[in-house]
Amino acid sequence: MIGDACPGSKCADCGFRSAVFASLNTGQLEMLTNGKTFNAVKKGATICKQGDEIKAFIFLRVGLAKLVRNTPDGREQIVGIATPNDFVGLLSLFSSKIYQYSIIAIEDSEYCSVDYSMVMDLIRGNGIFAQSLLEKISHVSDILINTRLDLDLRQLRGRVAFIICYFATEVYGTTKFNLPISRKEIAELIDMRVENVVRILSELRRDNIIRIEGTTIEILDPEKLKWIKVHG
């Protein structure tokens, strides 16, 4: 499925088009149409790999992906989660020739790749576009850093509560959802051990704060969960 033409063919007509591209004129949009590739991948697929040369600008249209980093001691650390409309790998893009993280689909996903040099041309040729991109990248960094700083302040119960709230509000927008990642991945995302993730989830279930059924999680007591998220 890699490299198929985008179903909606022209970027100008794309329902997923990001606000970042709003400033492009007709000619520039046509350039974009010709320079991009549409991709659909299954859950588990690697979209790009840490250490590989950056050749494209990746825009996630549908699905969900994790940003993964290999730690010096051979473990894996999840840097963050990419949701639809995100430019994944945006951070590495301008600061390095290689990807700092791998990007792996955690749900069936669709994304567009735009040729790296084309984006550079657009930046140089369209000031408003450059400004939009600056704002976008700045925003993404800010969220990532602030989230990390927040997590660092909390102990494990607070972190687990945080991640449940995150998926409920930021990703799915409901109090009941299918957790797209394993316990082990939660652990990698918030820097703790699998056993403790499990233990704390069990505690939350025991206290009737959440309900767990297979991979489905339902928040029963949002107030209490929020309290734990803030006060640890």
Partner DNA sequence: CGCGGCTTTGATGTTCATCAAGTAAAGTGG
Partner DNA sequence: CCACTTTACTTGATGAACATCAAAGCCGCG
Give the interface with DNA as residue ranges (CB under 7 A): 155-157, 182-184, 191-196, 198-199, 201-202, 212
Q: Contact, 69 vs 76, CB < 8 A?
A: yes
Query: According to the binding rule CB under 8 A, does residue 135 interact with a second copy?
Result: yes
Identify what 201 binds: DNA, a second copy, none; CB under 5 to 8 Å per kind: DNA
Query: According to the binding rule CB under 8 A, does residue 100 interact with a second copy?
Result: yes
Q: How far is the CB of 101 from DNA (least distance, A)?
A: 19
Report which of 36, 50, 64, 149 is spatially closest to residue 92, judged by C-alpha positions.
50
Report which of 100, 112, 116 is spatially closest to residue 11, judged by C-alpha positions.
112
Query: According to the binding rule CB under 8 A, does residue 97 interact with a second copy?
Result: no
What is the C-alpha separation between 156 and 134, in angstroms, rounded?
34
Q: How far is the CB of 61 from a second copy (least distance, A)?
A: 23
Q: Which is nearer to a second copy, 37 or 196 (CB)?
A: 196
Rounding to the nearest 10 degrees, give the CA dihedral for residues 22, 23, 25, 26: -10
Q: Which is nearer to a second copy, 144 or 220 (CB)?
A: 144
Query: According to the binding rule CB under 8 A, does residue 5 interact with a second copy?
Result: no
User: What three-state secondary structure class fits 9?
Assistant: coil
**Number of residues that this document lists for the chain:** 232
Task: List strands edge to edge, sheet with 65-70.
Answer: 46-48, 102-105, 65-70, 76-82
What is the C-alpha separation between 86 and 19, in angstroms, rounded?
11
Query: According to the binding rule CB under 8 A, does residue 152 interact with a second copy?
Result: yes
DSSP 81-115: EE-TT-EETHHHHHH-SB-SSEEEESS-EEEEEEE
Q: Which of 7, 15, 26, 153 touches a second copy (CB under 8 A)? A: 153
Q: How far is the CB of 100 from DNA (least distance, A)?
A: 23
Q: Which is nearer to a second copy, 6 or 181 (CB)?
A: 181
Interface residues with a second copy (CB under 8 A) are 69, 71-73, 75, 77, 79, 91-96, 100, 120, 123-128, 130-131, 133-135, 137-139, 141-142, 144-146, 148-149, 151-153, 191, 230-231
